[in-house]
Amino acid sequence: MGAAISLSVNLNKIAWLRNARQGGRPSVVGAAIDVINAGAYGITIHPRPDQRHITVTDVAELSTLLHEQYPDVELNIEGNPLAGARAGGYPGFDALIESARPNQCTLVPDSDAQLTSDHGWNLDDATQRARIGQSVHHYQALGARVSLFMDPDLEQLEHVPETGANRVELYTESFADAVKQHGPESAEVAESLANFSAASQRAGELGLGVNAGHDLDLDNLPLFRQVPGILEVSIGHALISDALEMGLKSAVRAYLDVLEE
């Protein structure tokens, strides 16, 4: 087995729970500190334009926390680079990145109506690639490594270098669904792992680093870490759900144990 895979913990669900009562509990900053003290490599947030969970204030507070107190911990901000300013205080994705200066931007083709991210970029159109490339170069100039959220589609991956992105984040819902529906020893899971392995290998050949995320959990992660070349996973919903039973720090350590085996 290769080197340990880094864990970035997505705090969206902490913010979502807090927002349900429009108060200050649970604290997103407090959760970030607990996650860091438990050994996580990074913090991930996905501030949507409707601010349904992570708010503009959260972005500012987490950026300040990490830059001033935990400079070795990476801040990863996810979002659609095409998202402009909205009523209610969302300043647009560009403005968030310009103010927060994250270590990594993960660009996701989501819309306001989506419950969660559910597909990778379609880069067949040259105009689309050029538009994304403008955002990539802008964020890189601000000091961020840039990753594109992608399906494990070899044809789509071929277009990524044209955008100038540093990495891809492979969208892993199809793998997680295969494990849930067919079982870990099934032919369907074996085929899915082969597809992700091929995608990771091709991305590496193209000079891209490889991250992964979406619906990874303690049950399927031991299988997924067999995929070679994965540098980082971003995990939120499952980890926060596990934290309800085992506590946040213990949940982080449980995921780290799997990744460091």
Q: What is the pLDDT of residue 3?
A: 65
Q: Is the pLDDT of residue 116 over 90?
A: no
Which band of pLDDT confidence, cut at 50, 70 and 90, is reported for residue 119?
confident
235-241 contact pairs (CB < 8 A, 24+): 235/7, 235/8, 235/9, 235/10, 236/9, 236/10, 236/11, 236/12, 236/13, 236/44, 237/10, 237/12, 237/13, 239/9, 239/10, 240/11, 240/13, 240/14, 241/13
Q: What is the pLDDT of residue 213?
A: 97
Query: Which residues are known catalytic residues?
Result: 46, 78, 214
For the segment 63-103, what is each residue's pLDDT rounded down to a tens digit? 999 999 999 999 999 999 999 888 889 999 999 999 999 99
Each domain of the chain, given as residue ranges in start order, spans 6-259
Task: Kindly report the pTM of this predicted structure.
Answer: 0.94
What average pLDDT does this structure show over 144-163? 97
CATH superfamily of 6-259: Aldolase class I (3.20.20.70)
For the segment 189-210, what is each residue's pLDDT rounded down to a tens digit? 999 999 999 999 999 999 999 9
